[in-house]
Structure 1
Amino acid sequence: KKVSLELGGKSPNIVFDDCNLDDAVSGAVSGIFAATGQTCIAGSRLLLQDTIHDQFVEKLVAMAKMARLGDPGKLDTQVGPVTTPAQYQKILSYIDIAKGEGASCVLGGGPASKEEGGGKYFVKPTIFTGVNNKMRIAQEEVFGPVLSIIKFRDEEEAVTIANDIAYGLGAGVWTQSLKRATTMARRIRAGTVWVNTYRAVSFTMPFGGYKASGLGRENGMEAIDGYLQSKSVWINNGAGGGNPFIMKTS
């Protein structure tokens, strides 16, 4: 029986110094803090080119600070609570792990107290800098509002960092260069690559992962394959049978 499995990820959101900075900052915030980071395609690894790192982080922190925490049933809420007590504790434990590994917490880093939504299980939007890709906070799926920022020098290093992971569900690339965008999209081992956007989906586009992020595809024509089986039919239209001890070939 055919199956399709989507198994999560640790997606890289890669920002080059020729990007539209404001758009990329907004995309980074959306990538990790929308749905409280509890999405399979969360852009939880933010790869920043070293030439724009400090400027980008400053803008990113300023925007993330403005996120409205509250009741997930209200339309103006931007970051809601974590779904379960167990997941809440898991996220907080990963925050402690990141601090223990030497990452620098520049925003959040702990629980948030809110009366809305029952008042429990809120985690502050959290951003870590000084992360290297070997840290657990960079390699393991947290499934919460926790962002790891990793510096890179050039395109080659960005590809190496992006692919140095067990997962391969999604990736983002922010650049004004079409050549760079298409090159990165080809080289990154991920089922979906967004260029100058993030978290865009459509029922017409196949969705699924590489490596430990799953197998098979949802959506698009590829999704229909899971419901089909091939059949081979051979018809002899009157030609002689030939030697019965030799397999027929064509």
Structure 2
Amino acid sequence: MFEYAPAPESRDVVDIKPAYGLFIGGEWVDGSSETRSKTIDPSTEEPLAEVVWADAADVDRAVAAARKAHDEVWGPMPGRERAKYLYRLARLIQERSRELAVLESIDNGKPIRESRDVDLPLVAAHFFYHAGWADKLEYAGYGPDPRPLGVAAQVIPWNFPLLMLAWKIAPALACGNTVVLKPAETTPLTALAFAELCRQADLPPGVVNIVTGAGETGRLLVEHPGVDKVAFTGSTEVGKQIARAVAGTAKRLTLELGGKAANIVFDDAPLDQAVEGIVNGIFFNQGHVCCAGSRLLVQETVAEEVLDRLKVRMATLRVGDPLDKNTDIGAINSAAQLERIRALSEIGEREGAERWSPPCELPSRGFWFAPTVFTGVAQSHRIAREEIFGPVLSVLTFRTPAEAVEKANNTPYGLSAGVWTEKGSRILWTAQRLRAGVVWANTFNKFDPAAPFGGYRESGFGREGGRHGLGAYLAGAQR
């Protein structure tokens, strides 16, 4: 059997400052708050940089800067001129993609292959795509003279820090809005690097503002009376709090929340291809994916064969240094998230499910969890109902297509699903009955900036990406 020699990416391509301030009005400014925190490398637990937590005065400054830029510069600017800035940002992202990918993997823990080959190309693609819309908004289907909303408050999660920034900022700017964005407290470094790109692109001061902090900073931003639009990606629990805070105001709101996606494998599916899709669906980004295929529904007649092939494939997954180009599964993002994954996995065992992981030597430092599959899972088990947000797969079986759909829809979530079969008619029949915002057919976790993404029920509402996502940032568009 061949062994992979280490192939580490150099850390020397990134320059992490010892401490960061806030990016407000096109300048780096000191925060008013005395509260600071250190962001750490989850693969080594080594501190990376000190970051300030913005307080109410800081949020006031950021919103005021965004309002001034919107009213005086960005809002009145012709779309063709806004497009030039977006194209410039896209090209700068491409030019500095290696640096940004390494920084993302250090700060987040995800494998460099994913940062380099998935995240960064999509980040640039979102800016290129939305740059193309900036001077064509009257053709987007939202009226003959669509106008920006004003100031957008955007709060993003830690699982795809730079990609979620692109999903939020690119359409907002294309539509003429200005932005105050708060990255997750554990992964702020690529957002702060993006602030430097804004300066390099000569983006007018105040168009993009970055304020760092934890939940309180996010609350202050979301509830600020000077904000016209709120966009949030994160947990369902926090999403509900934001919805309550925004209720009764004139603020527009989009929420992209949790998920518990079903990945359905019928007996006529191409099994080797399906196994690759199962692995990608749940082990990509350590399972830190809201649309992860965390529930595998397999037709009884092929369940044993699928599981045998899946275990063989899982045994080849390499867990370790995120900067090693051979690594398949990197570090869990934080100690708190690792504890949640462990706790729910132990509950799964206590409830009677059978746990299996391949032989896997985990590093002694950092936050790590071996890829895990549970069989004998019942619909009532917590691991089948709750979002674990880690590399943990729950396997259930079904006999008929109707049973598969019923089990797949037996969840409060409705973000995504997957269908594996060789019959096009079965794909369409199943997809039409699945209550999910995105349904993949014979693939999983495929994204394109031209395709809208979003969920139903406790997975949130609104769409990001594509023509549909523009409506969230335009006045007069349907809510």
TM-score for both structures, normalised by structure 1: 0.88
1:14 to 258, 264, 269: 264
Q: CA deviation at 1:52?
A: 0.3
CA distance in 2, matches of 1:112, 1:133: 32
Structure 2 CA distance for partners of 1:137 and 1:102, relative to 1, 3 Å: same
Q: CA deviation at 1:81?
A: 1.0
Q: Does 1:40 align with 2:40?
A: no
Cα deviation per residue 1:137-160 (whole Å; 9 max; x = unaligned)? 000000000000000011000000
Cα deviation per residue 1:35-55 (whole Å; 9 max; x = unaligned)? 110111110000000000101
Q: Does 1:2 align with 2:248?
A: no
CA distance in 1, matches of 2:253, 2:379: 32
4+ runs deviating over 2 angstroms: 106-109
SS of the residue 1:222 aligns to: helix
Q: CA deviation at 1:108?
A: 5.2
CA distance in 2, matches of 1:92, 1:61: 20
1:168 to 408, 414, 421: 414
**Partner of 1:120 in structure 2?**
366
**Partner of 1:189 in structure 2?**
435
CA distance in 2, matches of 1:230, 1:223: 14
Q: Does 1:52 align with 2:302?
A: yes
What runs of 5+ residues in structure 1 fail to find an aligned partner? 232-250
Greater fraction of residues in helix: 2
Cα deviation per residue 1:15-44 (whole Å; 9 max; x = unaligned)? 000000100011001100111101111100
Bigger RCO (CA 8 Å, 6+ sep): 1
Q: Does structure 2 conserve the Cα–Cα contact (< 8 Å) formed by 1:103 and 1:131? A: yes
In angstroms, what is the RMSD of aligned CA positions?
A: 1.5
CA distance in 2, matches of 1:42, 1:81: 17
**Partner of 1:213 in structure 2?**
459
> Matches of residues 13-92 of structure 1 in structure 2 within 5 Å?
13-92=263-342
CA distance in 1, matches of 2:347, 2:279: 22
Q: CA deviation at 1:71?
A: 1.3
1:132 to 359, 378, 384: 378
CA distance in 2, matches of 1:113, 1:199: 26
Q: Which amino acid aligns with 1:213?
A: S
Q: CA deviation at 1:73?
A: 2.1
Structure 2 CA distance for partners of 1:40 and 1:5, relative to 1, 3 Å: same
CA distance in 2, matches of 1:19, 1:5: 34
Cα deviation per residue 1:92-112 (whole Å; 9 max; x = unaligned)? 111100001100113259x95
Q: Does structure 2 conserve the Cα–Cα contact (< 8 Å) formed by 1:112 and 1:122? A: no
Q: Does structure 1 conserve the Cα–Cα contact (< 8 Å) formed by 2:295 and 2:384? A: yes
Number of residue-to-residue matches in the alignment: 227
TM-score for both structures, normalised by structure 2: 0.46
Identity %, equivalent residues: 44
Q: Which amino acid aligns with 1:86?
A: A
Q: Which amino acid aligns with 1:14?
A: I
Q: CA deviation at 1:213?
A: 0.3
SS of the residue 2:439 aligns to: strand
CA distance in 1, matches of 2:385, 2:369: 20
CA distance in 2, matches of 1:219, 1:3: 15
Q: Which amino acid aligns with 1:124?
A: A
CA distance in 2, matches of 1:3, 1:176: 39
Q: CA deviation at 1:128?
A: 0.5
CA distance in 2, matches of 1:229, 1:113: 51
What runs of 5+ residues in structure 2 fail to find an aligned partner? 1-250
